[in-house]
Amino acid sequence: MKGRTLLLGIGNPIRTDDAIGVMVAREVSKLHLPGIDVMEIAASGIEVMEMMLDYEKVVIVDAIKLPGRKPGEMMRLEERDFANTVHGASPHGVNLPTAIALGRRTAPSRMPKEIVFYAMQVEDIDTFSESLTPRVKDNLPLLVDTVVRELTRD
The CATH superfamily assigned to 5-152 is HybD-like (3.40.50.1450)
pLDDT tens, residue by residue, 20-76: 999 999 999 999 999 999 999 987 788 889 999 999 999 999 999 889 999 999 999
Q: Where are the domains of the chain?
A: 5-152
Q: Is the pLDDT of residue 110 over 70?
A: yes
What's the pTM value of the predicted model, to 2 decimals?
0.89
Rounded average pLDDT over 110-130: 93
The letter for the amino acid at 23 is M
The letter for the amino acid at 132 is L
**Residues 62 and 21 sit within 8 Å (Cβ to Cβ):** yes
**Residues 133 and 15 sit within 8 Å (Cβ to Cβ):** no
CA distances to 63, 90, 104, 110, 120 from 21, in Å: 7, 25, 24, 24, 9
